Structure 1
Amino acid sequence: MPLWIPITIAAAFFQNLRSGLQKRLKRQMRTTGATFVRFGFGLPFALVYLVVVVQLSTGPVPLPNGWVVLAAASGGLAQIGATFLLVYLFGLRNFMVGTAYSKTEPVQAALFGFLILGDTVSPLGLLAVAAGVVGVILISVGNAGSRDIVRGLASRAALIGVGSGALFGISAVCFRAAALALGSGEAALRAAVVLVLTLAIQSIVMLLWMAIRDRSELRRVANGWRPGLLVGLSGASASAGWFTAMTLQNVAYVRALGQIELIFTLASSLLWFRERITRLELAGAGIIVLAIFALIGGT
């Protein structure tokens, strides 16, 4: 089994854990603060991870050049924008449909990967990517009525969701471009360098934003440092996995396999929270599993 596959699955697991912890943080701070915690509290753990990788590596540490910084900054800003759009969806009607459209990211990542990096996807791989998106949409609209689904197809929420998915796709391609632009070094080392650089840029940008626009949120972030550390640890673990996997493999394949996160979410909902699972959600989960098997077989 290629190394990028278990790394991606682990990244999806930690991302699901981070989302659950971040949801609790919303009780203590607003969206800006909860978003910052993902980056700012993740940076120290990313630095520790970089030190460990450097110690285990046999080669020199690759130094970022101008193109690496530009790609990392572009990806980091796109990721911040995508996160804000996704959070904004929850205040709109039919947000489930909009969220589903944000999960078109793998298809959009395949397009951006081809346009920016020249990455190609095999016919079977493209079919698996598309099937995974269908599965995600079924899960996302599983609790919505048919009228809500039809109304949501052309809704403002759907358009914002597509925009969120596009920005997530762009950010993933930019992160891969940054890692490839480093040129030398093992995949884990290049990914760790780009991860630290990206989190540093994101943390600085968001700190400046809160310092200028909302200083009270800085106090809420400081008061929530204990749960923030857990969010940072799980978020940095997820990002380390994503960055490493995307250094090793085409972004579209990585993000498509990453849809397994929805399986973890459904399992938590059923086994932990004892929530009811609809037939559409089960069907969506089944399609995602089949898509993942096709994706693994196609690579």
Structure 2
Amino acid sequence: MELWITATIAAAFFQTLRFMLQKVLATGTLSATGSTLARFAYAQPFAWVVLAGYLALRGGGFPAIDPVFWLWGLAGGVGQILATVMVVMMFRTRNFAVGITLKKTEVIQTALLGLVLLGEVISVGGWLAIGIGLAGVLLLSKTPGDARASWRDLGSRVILLGLASGFFFAVSGVGYRAATLAVDSADPFLRALVALSFVNLMQCTVLLPWLRWREPGQIAAVWGARKVAVWMGLASMAGSLGWFTAFTQQTAAYVFALGQVELIFSLAASVLFFRERVTVRELGGIALLTASILVLVLVV
């Protein structure tokens, strides 16, 4: 199995675990932005410890970094911050599995952004897989309890949050793909670790003054939530390392498309941990998204 496939599946698993913990924090004492800071802040120590340990075991010096890394890394980091805040907000309007699924509009948006910004072309088979996945997203966009609501209702708050979070995740994916390519090393794991550590640091640098200005009490609340947040940080670091490793090997659109395997994990979490009911319509949408993953693996 290719490295990017293994890394993506691992990333999807750890991301689901992280979203589960983040949902618990977001529905408790932390705001959407506060829980987002907790995710990055508690991942920081783990990322730097793993990087230092890997450099010590591997030997050799620190890899050179092209100056363009900082621009791509900042763009990806800010995009991820905005996308994560919107996903946390979705947790309060949809159930867990469907909230995760709506953000998967990131796949087709990533393909388009990757083409425009990086010139990365998607094959016909790749577009087929993405199209099947998009059909599943649209099927899942009906708001429970309202027979009149559908994906056409663009005034719906959850639809707008889903589309916007997908766009900003697309920005983060393309930015991270370009940032990892700007690290001068033939070792994909080292490139991923360097990019992850510095991008995560930039995200904390952006979020701390914002919370200090807009939600000053949240910084103390983030520290107060450390017993849960530290595990979220560990899961976040592991998931992000998987994504960054995959980005060093494959285009962001294909990585995100395969990453839809996360839906299987999130459905299990929704039913087993949060005791949320999943409808037949939602299961149909998830089945379509699963089919898109199978097509992608066959054609790439």
Task: Give yes or no for TM over 0.5.
Answer: yes
For residues 165-222 of structure 1, what are the alpha-carbon distances to aligned partners after superposition, in whole Å with 9 as ceiling and x for unaligned?
1111011100110111123331111111010011000011111122233322111111
- Displacement of 1:28 in angstroms is 2.3
The letter of the residue matching 1:105 is E
Q: 5 Å matches for 1:240-259?
A: 240-259=241-260
Hey, what does 2:199 align to over in structure 1?
Answer: 198
Q: Distance in 1 between matches of 2:129 and 2:81?
A: 28
2:62 match: secondary structure: coil
Partner SS, residue 149 of structure 2: helix
Distance 1:196 1:150, change over 3 A: closer
Q: Deviations over 1:211-234 (max 9, x none)?
A: 233322111111111211011000
Please report how far the alpha carbon of residue 144 of structure 1 lies from its aligned counterpart in structure 2 after TM superposition.
Answer: 5.1
Question: What are the within-5 Å matches in structure 2 for residues 118-157 of structure 1?
Answer: 118-141=119-142, 143=144, 145-149=146-150, 152-157=153-158
Residue 3 of structure 1 is matched in structure 2 by: 3
Which amino acid is 1:196 matched to?
A: S
Residue range with higher mean Cα deviation, 158-167 or 62-71: 158-167
User: Which segment is superposed worse, 280-289 or 70-79?
Assistant: 280-289
Contact 1:21 1:231 (C-alpha < 8 Å) held by counterparts: yes
- Counterpart of 2:32 in structure 1 is 31
Judged with a 3 Å threshold, the aligned counterparts in structure 2 of structure 1 residues 274 and 80 are, in CA distance, closer, same or farther, namely closer
Cα distance 1:257–1:167, how it changes in 2: closer, same or farther (>3 A)? same
**Letter of the structure 2 residue corresponding to residue 2 of structure 1:** E
Q: Are 2:39 and 2:232, in contact at CA under 8 Å, matched by a contact in 1?
A: yes
CA distance in 1 between partners of 2:236 and 2:112 (Å):
26
Q: Is the CA contact (8 Å cut-off) linking 1:142 and 1:280 kept in structure 2? A: no
Counterpart residue number, 2:214: 213
Output the CA distance in 2 between the equivalents of 1:89 and 1:273.
15
Report the Cα distance in structure 2 between the residues aligned to 1:274 and 1:88, rounded to whole angstroms. Answer: 19
Gaps of 5+ in 1: none
The residue type paired with residue 8 of structure 2 is T
Give the 3-state SS of the residue equivalent to 1:41 in structure 2. helix
1: CA distance between counterparts of 2:99 and 2:266? 18
Aligned to 1:113: 114
**1:195 is matched by which residue type in structure 2?**
L
- Cα shift readout 1:2-61 (whole Å, capped 9, x = no counterpart): 111121111111111011111111212222211100111111111122123323436543
In 2: Cα distance, 1:60 partner to 1:144 partner: 58
TM-score (norm 1): 0.90
Is 1:38–1:231's contact at 8 Å kept on the other side of the alignment? yes
Q: C-alpha distance in 1, partners of 2:229/2:289? A: 31
- How many residues are treated as equivalent by the alignment? 299
- Cα distance in 2 for partners of 1:41, 1:93 equals 26
CA distance in 2, matches of 1:53, 1:297: 33
Q: Counterpart of 2:80? A: 79
Q: Which moved more, 1:233-242 or 1:20-29?
A: 20-29
Q: Deviations over 1:252-298 (max 9, x none)?
A: 11101111111111122334445433211222222222211111111
Instruction: Among all aligned residue pairs of Structure 1 and Structure 2, give the percentage whose two residues are the same amino acid.
Output: 42
RMSD of aligned residue pairs (Cα, Å): 2.6
- Gaps of at least 5 residues in structure 2 are none
- Mapped to 2, the partners of 1:167 and 1:238 lie a distance apart of 18
State the SS of the aligned residue for 2:178. Answer: helix
Query: Could you tell me the TM-score, scaled by structure 2's length?
Result: 0.90
CA distance in 1, matches of 2:100, 2:293: 21
